Amino acid sequence: MRRIGRYLFIFGYLAVLGFGLARHTLGHRAHDHVGMYFIVWDMYCGWTAWETRNHIVGQGESGEWYDLAPPWGEMVPFGSAHRRDYDVFHLHSGKIARMTLENTDHEPIHRIMVVEEAWPKRYNLPDEVWKRRTPDPKIPHSYYHIVATYGLDGVMEAKHAGWTNVLAHNALVNNPRLRDEIARAKPFLTIENLTGSQRAIQQTSFQEPAPFR
């Protein structure tokens, strides 16, 4: 009986992993549920030198802007980041905004967007640690960037690159040598599912480097 139980456990374990691998490979609803995180092939996360927060805002007919984060409070899984800050692909921010609008009194809203706030992580150091590391004054500065817009039904209408991707793009297009290499190189494209139901083609690197002149 124990042997049968072990076989069933191994079979079930491999079946679940195979299910997640197939979903991720085929790009079929791999991000629809939080439980998919444990079985999809997504274990190589990167780290950045920037701290980011997502601000969900809406503009009323009068032109005034409103904070559309849930006024009754949010779950804070770790540190100071709220649940909406973990939505890096902005797939659920529209739903959060719609839920807030449906349960609060406000003037008619005709514009919803997510504004990303980014600042260098070094400013997260405690003051005493900062003073020991550098004599420079600690003057935090944040950058704000629109990353997504939504309709009143919470459906995403437009999506823009995050702040770190904007910096990488600007560094690329402002370098004449890199622009010249891009024009002569052969790009390498991948297909990735980031929207749950649609597949997006994105350039990840260059399959063949540009020849030297």
Output the furthest CA–CA distance in the chain (Å, rounded).
71
| For residues 123-137, average pLDDT | 92
- Report yes or no: 188 and 207 within 8 Å, Cβ to Cβ: yes
Identify the band that residue 203 occupies on the pLDDT scale cut at 50, 70 and 90: very low
CA distance 122 to 166: 20
The better pLDDT of the pair 145, 191 is held by: 145
Nearest Cα neighbor of 54 from 146, 168, 172, 181 is 146
Residue owning tokens 């609008």: 101
CA distance 192 to 201: 6
Q: Which two tokens stand for residue 105?
A: 């009194």
pLDDT tens digit sequence for 100-128: 999 988 899 988 999 999 999 999 999 99
- What was the pLDDT predicted at 161? 85
| For residues 156-180, average pLDDT | 84
Identify the band that residue 187 occupies on the pLDDT scale cut at 50, 70 and 90: low
Q: How far is CA 164 from CA 45, 49, 68, 157, in A?
A: 15, 9, 24, 22
What does the mean pLDDT of the chain come to? 81
Question: Does pTM surpass 0.85?
Answer: no
pLDDT-above-90 percentage for the chain: 32
pLDDT surpassing 50 at residue 184: yes
| For residues 150-161, average pLDDT | 88
Nearest Cα neighbor of 19 from 39, 44, 38 is 39
- What was the pLDDT predicted at 210? 46
Q: How far is CA 118 from CA 41, 45, 123, in A?
A: 28, 19, 11
CA distance 91 to 154: 10
